[in-house]
Structure 1
């Protein structure tokens, strides 16, 4: 059972001067929170959400590896994830992101360390013209009468605005539609992430208890 919580858009409306290029920068910001009820089948500590997110199955669930072309560990808690190729304008590119996953006994934080595009040389050159900050903060309370999992995703993208006609417009004219697009993206993906995480958790619980998983 899913419960929708508030969505937020923060439009900065700021104009910043690029330190090296002298260009203007648009800041696009979005946030989404989602709450989902946890199953109550097991009271065993070994089958807690904290244990799941430390298990390889939990890490794969957090990274949503089924949606990736490939992924590889860079160290004990950092992973390089390559998405499937997508078409952008006339080009084919593969987004490559580095994520740090930090689980504790009470929460789990997923942070975006880097993001770049590979494939088209024209778009690879754009890697220097944007930066992204993403944080997915997951908490849970398994001891309450209504155990729930909370997912809080925030995303900020900074773009250098240098091409016409966008360079002739106020920064707010770029930020407002950009914020709406990013917010719509989080509004669609965050509930799916929470639901898939719950499904993977329930499958892991059944696997650990020796019960057959549903296909």
Structure 2
């Protein structure tokens, strides 16, 4: 029994939080908390870039009249590796018959080393080939790996061709989309256009520069493959025997 300010109480000397005084004892009262402040809506910037182009396409055949269309090349291992641009990769591995994991070269970002990893699907048909990005993430320091939670990326590279016309061509349509969560100062205080406008300009400049280089290399790889196919000794020998009635 204690007396505090002339009031009697039957509790311990330490006063529990959320109680009120009574003449006979402490009575517990319910503490009602006010509503929690709602977090502001997360800002997301959407960056877009697209590049369309038509490229002249050469036709290749050997001395026996056997043609080597680009559809055959893109269904060949060399064609798939050319579409994936494996020359620019640190390494790659096949996950399924149509999907590949591509490890880009490590890059230095401020004081951190980061290695982007892409999962891509390659779907060739008789008159088209589609490459799509299934996922994109960073590996490196824990700080940079945390950024995987704050962005997502999508890429679609759709090429079509027509070799049955006076001037064969290859149509290229590349589209890249990146969603960025804006959560750091001072960008959260700015309108989302302050991130999207310069971001779109930078992305479009990169796509405009890299897409022609990629498909210039693809055409060169196709030519190299077609010329190599025409020189295969076993094919030339079998065709010669066929033409001679053997």
Q: TM-score, normalised by structure 2?
A: 0.75
Do the aligned residues in 2 keep the contact of 1:28 with 1:179 (CA within 8 Å)? yes
Larger fraction in strand: 1
Q: 5 Å matches for 1:67-106?
A: 67-106=88-127
Provide Cα deviations, 1:92-120, integer angstroms capped at 9, x if missing partner.
10100000000000100000000000112
The higher-RCO structure (CA 8 Å, 6+ apart) is 1
Structure 1 segment 18-37 matched on structure 2, within 5 A: 22-37=41-56
In the alignment, the residues of structure 2 paired with residue 21 and residue 100 of structure 1 have an alpha-carbon distance, to the nearest angstrom, of: 37
Distance 2:67 2:147 in 1: 46
**Alignment RMSD (CA, Å):** 1.6
- CA separation of 1:116 and 1:34: change in aligned 2, threshold 3 A: same
Residue 58 of structure 1 contacts residue 201 of structure 1 at CA under 8 Å; is this kept in 2? yes
Count of matched residue positions in the alignment of Structure 1 and Structure 2: 192
Picking from 174, 179, 182, the partner of 1:153 is 174
Structure 1 segment 123-142 matched on structure 2, within 5 A: 123-142=144-163
The residue number in structure 2 matching 1:55 is 76
Normalized against structure 1, the TM-score is what? 0.86
- Counterpart of 1:170 in structure 2 is 191
Q: Residues 126-182 of structure 1: CA distance to partner in whole angstroms, max 9, x if unpaired?
A: 001001111000000111111011111001100000000111100001000000010
Q: Distance in 1 between matches of 2:162 and 2:130?
A: 16
Where do 5+ consecutive residues of structure 2 fail to align?
1-38, 233-246
Looking at CA atoms only, which structure, 1 or 2, has the larger radius of gyration?
Answer: 2
